[in-house]
Amino acid sequence: MIWQSVIGQERVKAQLLVLLKTGRLAHAYLFQGDDGVGKDAMAIQLAAAIHCRKGDFDPCGKCPSCLKLAGLQHPDVHLVFSLPVGKDEGKGDHPLEKLSGPEVDAIREQIRLKGVNPYHRISVPRATVIKVNSIRDIRRESVMSTMGSNRRVVIISRADEMNEQSSNALLKTLEEPATETLFILTSMFPERLLPTIRSRCHSVQFDPLGPAEIAGRLVSDGLANETDARLVAHLAMGSFRRASELLGEDMAEERQQALEFVRLMMGNSFSPLMKRIDELSAQKDRELVVRFLNLIALWFRDTLVHSKGGEILNVDQSESIKRFVDRFPAVNYPDILGRLDGAVSLVRRNGYIPLVLVRLSIELKRSILLTTA
């Protein structure tokens, strides 16, 4: 298997390999797709394939070029991302020149972490935009000769974070491309980029990762055992980064809370359910509500799997799952899971969370009880 550091995305790998082997790489690409699916990882791997001394487009990881890229220190590979603006920073200043020592150290640490794990999301305090000085710096670099015989690669991570100035500066560079430079923009929100920038890039769509792909990498990297890996992989919605972050949460407690919500929903008293809905609605992070709904969906998915004699994910809740299936043997699971999916969509589209949860609770209870009528 080629390019093993990138999880899945076999279609994209095959597409890029053909372009590499036939010498038909364009001068600019836009890698687009959800967060944590491997856009940056693929960009870094493509740069490694271009520069590896072995020359067969499958980076060896041992030659001087590969070793430099492992730390993102290769002179002909540049990673651009949002940075804080320095005090009295002016036109033409190097993007790090006016930053404090601790800020520069923090940025270098983020680059190191990205080299170790290409799925790492770079996070720098006070960094909200890709600065125009960062784009001007790579523009200056792009007209210079490379250190070796291969192309310079510029990776602009989360390119939608460019402001108007940096966008216009990049557009000028793309309009007058240097033959030795390959630009790779990555973005979860390509619609936020200037249409003129998008039109000058070849778009490559990245797919959500499958649960088996995510779980397999979590286990092989020693990040989780098989049970935990399978659980978070189903909650990660196709994102390896999201799965990695979920491992750091108290998933057992959250899953228990999801089960308790189902019990309250099926109970005879509305007051305890409304109290729980109020608690959920008070959370400012909508993604936490989305995760809670996905945990409920996962529990119902397990009841469906158990009813068919399959292997469940919430193994520590097997007794409650069995009791539910015994009591409600004819549940319309497609309806249940469809309503949960609809609730997730409403929350993400800024729907009023208390109303979404109340309506969902009524609909789910009605759907379940109708099966016993």
What tens-digit pLDDT sequence spans the chain (373 residues)?
Answer: 578 889 999 999 999 999 988 888 999 999 999 889 999 999 999 999 898 888 778 888 888 888 998 889 898 899 999 998 878 777 877 888 888 888 899 999 999 999 988 998 888 888 888 989 899 888 887 666 555 557 889 999 999 999 999 999 999 888 876 668 899 999 999 999 999 999 999 999 999 999 899 999 999 988 888 888 888 888 787 889 888 887 866 777 888 888 999 999 998 888 999 999 998 888 777 888 888 898 899 899 889 989 888 888 787 788 999 999 998 888 889 999 999 999 988 988 888 999 999 999 999 998 888 766 5
Q: What are 162's strand-pairing partners?
A: 130
Q: Are residues 147 and 15 in the same domain?
A: yes
User: Considering the entire predicted model, what is its pTM?
Assistant: 0.76
* Domain at 115, CATH number: 3.40.50.300
**172 and 280 fall within a common domain:** no
User: Per the domain annotation, does 272 fall within a domain?
Assistant: yes
Number of domains comprising the chain: 2
Do 271 and 184 sit in the same domain of this protein? no
Same domain, 156 and 284: no
- 192 with 259, same domain: the answer is no
pLDDT of the residue at 111: 92
Is residue 101 located within the same domain as residue 168? Answer: yes
Pair (258, 185) in one structural domain: no
Cβ-count burial of 276 within 10 angstroms (0-12 exposed, 13-18 middle, 19+ buried)?
middle
Choose the final residue of a domain: 178, 207, 236.
207
Domain boundary among 154, 187, 207: 207
Q: Angle at Cα 207 formed by Cα 205 and Cα 210, nearest 5°?
A: 170
Q: Look up the domain containing 292 and give its range.
A: 249-370
- Token representation of residue 115: 């080299």
Asked if the structure places residue 221 within a domain, the reply is no
Question: What tens digit of pLDDT does each residue of 354-368 get?
Answer: 999 999 999 999 888
Q: Does some domain include residue 158?
A: yes
Nearest-angstrom CA–CA distance, 353 and 337:
18
Q: Residue 181 has what pLDDT?
A: 87
- In terms of domains, do 254 and 135 share one? no
pLDDT confidence of residue 143: 63
The angle that helices 270-281 and 353-370 make with each other, rounded to 10 degrees, is 140
